[in-house]
Amino acid sequence: MATFVKPVYGLLCAALIAASGVRAEVLGATAIQVKPERIVLLDIQRVGGHLFSAGERGWILHSTDNGRHWQSVRSPADRTLTALAFADEQLGIAIGHGATLLRTTDGGQQWTAVPLDDIGRDSLLGVIHLGDQHFVAYGAFGLYLESHDGGLHWSRRQLLDEHFDRHIARVIKAADSLFLFGESGTLLRSSDLGQSWQALPSPYEGSFFGALVTPAGALLAFGMRGNLYRSADQGQSWQQIALDTKAALQGGAILADGRIVLVGNAGLVAFSADDGRSFALSRTARGGLAQVVAVEDGVLAVGDAGVQALSLKQTAAN
């Protein structure tokens, strides 16, 4: 297998210049204010009335007014942060390159580095909250970590068998199952919250970079070269959805009106008004986009141009 490269190919050129290592001390908001349009950001998440975004050099941005203004929080990490997940408005986890794992218990004002003894330094690419104190973090070369105490302690789980080493791009919860998407068409399902996994037939041999559950409960999986698939039967069969682009799809969200928005490299934005059965393209974004979130007055995306508002206008249909 090739040397690991973070799936957001177009977004990491600036982020990879970050220095290595994680400092052990706790750091909070500093006098330095990072301009939200001048930083590479790889994730954005809403928790209650708060927005959080994370990216290069361990920076985390926090907004309480739907992204109109942002506070910069310097975390203990020096490596690029790739994803965030929150249990509630106080308890959250941030993860990133070099097995970076951070924890907050005060709504993101301060973050503490969590040591991952004997787990190695492979990059973490995603994190999900599964209820109560249960978090799962995952990433390169089959790295899959689980915590049942709100992120204080983590253990590594083996997926399928000891030979599983595919990069894991996204884990989502749909109904009573977890679905795992990754490199080389990797597609797994768990009916017991990750205690055991079953490989599903994959419609695609390339890498998946993201997935989401539609308002009607269908699954969308997407990845390289604009490849997009939909399943209405919990991953047993898949239909390819035509999308007139070769740009990689990276992230997505459900809007308040039920529409689905997907984003990706080269400013790709795509909307669906029929539960993911078809998509229309929009070309209004700048740079590569990693993730998107709905806000009260529209949509915010993050990527190599920092935070930007997206137009909701659909300009091209398949």
Please, are residues 43 and 127 in contact by the beta-carbon 8 Å criterion?
Answer: no
DSSP lists the bridge partners of residue 272 as 260
Can you read off the two tokens belonging to residue 125?
């690419």
For residue 125, which amino acid is it?
L
Alpha-carbon distances of 245 from 106, 111, 141, 248, 268, rounded to whole Å: 42, 39, 29, 8, 8
Residue 77: DSSP 8-state: B
Residue with tokens 């995603």: 126
For residue 226, which amino acid is it?
G
Residue 15: DSSP 8-state: H
For residue 192, which amino acid is it?
D
Task: Return the ∠ at Cα 290 (arms to 226 and 308), rounded to 5°.
Answer: 115
Please, are residues 234 and 268 in contact by the beta-carbon 8 Å criterion?
Answer: no
For residue 148, which amino acid is it?
H
Q: What is the pTM of this model?
A: 0.89
Q: What is the pLDDT of residues 223-247, one digit of tens each?
A: 999 999 999 999 999 999 999 999 9
Residue 130: DSSP 8-state: -
Give the list of residues 6+ apart from residue 23 with CB closer than 8 angstroms, or none.
76, 77, 78, 113
Phi, psi (deg, nearest 5) at residue 15: -65, -30
Is the pLDDT at 186 greater than 60? The verdict is yes
pLDDT band at 120 (very low <50, low <70, confident <90, very high): confident
Q: What is the pLDDT of residues 249-286, one digit of tens each?
A: 999 999 989 999 999 999 999 999 999 999 999 877 89
Please, are residues 159 and 180 in contact by the beta-carbon 8 Å criterion?
Answer: yes
Can you read off the two tokens belonging to residue 168?
């894991």
Please, are residues 146 and 187 in contact by the beta-carbon 8 Å criterion?
Answer: no
| Domains of the chain and CATH, by start | 9-236 (2.130.10.10), 242-318 (no CATH)
Q: What is the pLDDT of residues 14-46, one digit of tens each?
A: 333 333 333 333 444 445 789 999 999 999 999
Residue with tokens 């978090």: 135
Closest C-alpha to 73, from 21, 115, 32 = 32
Q: What is the pLDDT of residues 66-96, one digit of tens each?
A: 999 999 999 999 999 999 999 999 999 999 9
d(C-alpha 134, C-alpha 158), whole Å: 17
